[in-house]
Amino acid sequence: MSPRRVQLLAADTPHGIALLAAAVDAGLLGEGRERLLLTASRAPAPETVPAPDETPGPAALLNRFDRVLSWSRLIRPLHPAAWAPRPDDAPLWERQLRSLWGLEDAEVELVVERVGTGPARALARIFPDAPLVVYATGLSAYGPTPGKLDPLVGTRVRRLLHPPLLPAARPLLLSEFGVPAEAVPAGALRDVAAKAARALPPTGAPEGAVVLLGNDPQAPGALPAAAEERLLVRTLRAVRETGPRAVVLAPHPAAPPPRTTALERAAAELGVELYVPEWAHPVEALYELLRPSLVIGRASGALPAASAVHGLPVARYGTRETLERMAPYENEDRVPAVIVDALVPEPAAGARSAEGADVPPSAGGGAPLGAEETAALVRAVAFCMWPRVLPELRDETERFLTAHPDERVRRYFARRRLASLGLPGGVPGPLTPVVRSPVVRRTALRARALGRGARR
């Protein structure tokens, strides 16, 4: 008799539920196993926003799973984004959860996002023998693994699932562990979004309305609420100059109800009809429901998804501010912001279709990079973020920086970071061989350490 097999799938956003449903439909998660969906919330106060399975749209996708359980309610009042059991307590938690969920002696497989944090970290610790499948809902698949992941966890990862948002690039997430990446087919993602769209209540907006993506208020580089609203007002003015008169604001799922007073006032002055849903709709479902004439956003993976998966024109706003505020350089959201800033045009520069055709930019917009050039840029930025994790990218990064001395590309790299790594652009050309000398670098590190010690 074959052993009972159970998949525990963790999702803390509507995007996560949609991608998991598409992966099931595409046959990427196997057959002959029971699937338990564990939902949680990354919001600072989870009780103030609906759980991802309780919003219209995702609820129509739950029939892909045998049971739906709330991880947030299970561990309340602990926060699901931060809590994980102590190592000594993990066996107790495993026995408790196997009993509570009726798993008994079943073979467990974990399907999780952000394996080093949130529910994924807790589940990986509670079920130490379970293999893992990691998925990325947005552009994080193309960036390096955040931090130094415990090898005992990284070696348990069998596959990486991701949407095909940048086909020219090979995902770097978990590549140091040799994890193979598989793209969830765009057709499956669109079918899931179309089904979710049919379950949405009417937004009141006409077909073809512009969709303005709200930003995650907890994301690194996020602006204060008042500054974010001012930026949205400027963006609304830029959008109005391109012609559209109907705009739908799509808040981030983890965001509280947005401040829209100034935005509504600006819309009235500009003659724009502004629609603000009462709750955050899954934006992929909005794409299929409204077929927008333009999707505009900041560093969200939903922006390239609009183009690559749904065939919609896109534009960006505020990515420069996001990158300038983002610290440290190793921040895991840097690569998504770089991709959007490099590949997607500003409203004044027109929009890009899924086929890659550009509307000619106006004088005020910067021309975006091509897909191949953006893929090379991403790998160079990833090496500068985590050179010890991705040492094999050093020669490639040197060639890229040498071939792109212009500010259009160099602005994505901190000069001090380039100098510390001995890369082109960090110091004047004649001094580069000196900086790259191992002896000089070791001496500089010792001097820095001695200086810190003297200051103490």
Residues 112 and 158 in one domain: yes
What is residue 305's predicted lDDT score, i.e. its pLDDT? 92
Residues 205 and 338 in one domain: yes
User: 172-193, pLDDT tens digit by residue?
Assistant: 999 999 999 999 999 999 999 9
How would you classify the pairing of strands 314-316 and 246-250? unpaired
Alpha-carbon 302 to chain mean position: 8
Domain boundary among 192, 221, 252: 192
**Domain-embedded: residue 171:** yes
**Domain-embedded: residue 248:** yes
**Domain-embedded: residue 373:** no
In sequence order, what are the beta bridge partners of 249? 212
The answer, yes or no, to whether residue 204 has pLDDT greater than 60, is: yes
Cα–Cα distance, 142 to 375 (Å, whole number):
9
Domain boundary among 192, 210, 244: 192
Residues 67 and 103 in one domain: yes
User: 282-315, pLDDT tens digit by residue?
Assistant: 889 999 999 999 999 887 888 999 999 999 999 9
The answer, yes or no, to whether residue 322 has pLDDT greater than 80, is: yes
Angle of the 371-385 helix axis to the 394-403 helix axis, nearest 10: 130
Mean pLDDT confidence for 263-287: 85
CATH number of domain containing 362: 3.40.50.1980
Residues 274 and 312 in one domain: yes
Residues 20 and 169 in one domain: yes
**Domain-embedded: residue 453:** no
Among the ranges given (24-28, 325-329, 359-363), the one the predictor scored with the smallest mean pLDDT = 359-363
What is residue 351's predicted lDDT score, i.e. its pLDDT? 45
pTM here is 0.86
User: 111-166, pLDDT tens digit by residue?
Assistant: 999 888 889 999 999 999 999 999 999 899 999 998 788 899 999 999 999 999 99
Angle of the 14-25 helix axis to the 186-198 helix axis, nearest 10: 120
**Domain-embedded: residue 134:** yes
Residues 21 and 56 in one domain: yes
* Domain count within the chain: 3
Q: Which residues constitute the domain of residue 441?
A: 378-448
Cα–Cα distance, 438 to 348 (Å, whole number):
47
Confidence of residue 445 (pLDDT cuts 50, 70, 90): low
Residue 11: name the closest of 36, 29, 45 by CA: 36
What is residue 433's predicted lDDT score, i.e. its pLDDT? 58
Domain boundary among 368, 397, 431: 368
User: 32-42, pLDDT tens digit by residue?
Assistant: 889 999 999 87
Cα–Cα distance, 390 to 329 (Å, whole number):
15
User: 350-390, pLDDT tens digit by residue?
Assistant: 444 333 333 333 333 456 788 899 999 999 999 999 999 89
Residues 183 and 46 in one domain: yes
CATH number of domain containing 93: 3.40.50
Residues 392 and 443 in one domain: yes
**Domain-embedded: residue 271:** yes
Cα–Cα distance, 317 to 323 (Å, whole number):
12
Average pLDDT of the chain is 85
Mean pLDDT confidence for 249-267: 77
**Domain-embedded: residue 455:** no
Residues 21 and 163 in one domain: yes
Confidence of residue 238 (pLDDT cuts 50, 70, 90): confident
**159-176: b (≥16 Cβ within 10 Å) or e:** bbbbbbbbeebebbbbbb
Contacts of 28 (CB under 8 A, 6+ apart): 161, 182, 184
Contacts of 443 (CB under 8 A, 6+ apart): none
What is residue 335's predicted lDDT score, i.e. its pLDDT? 93
Residues 35 and 184 in one domain: yes
CA of 87: how far to CAs of 114, 343, 361, 379, 418, in Å? 19, 43, 55, 35, 39
**Domain-embedded: residue 334:** yes
What is residue 355's predicted lDDT score, i.e. its pLDDT? 35
Q: Does residue 199 contact residue 180 with C-beta atoms inside 8 Å?
A: no
Residues 152 and 23 in one domain: yes
Residues 352 and 228 in one domain: yes
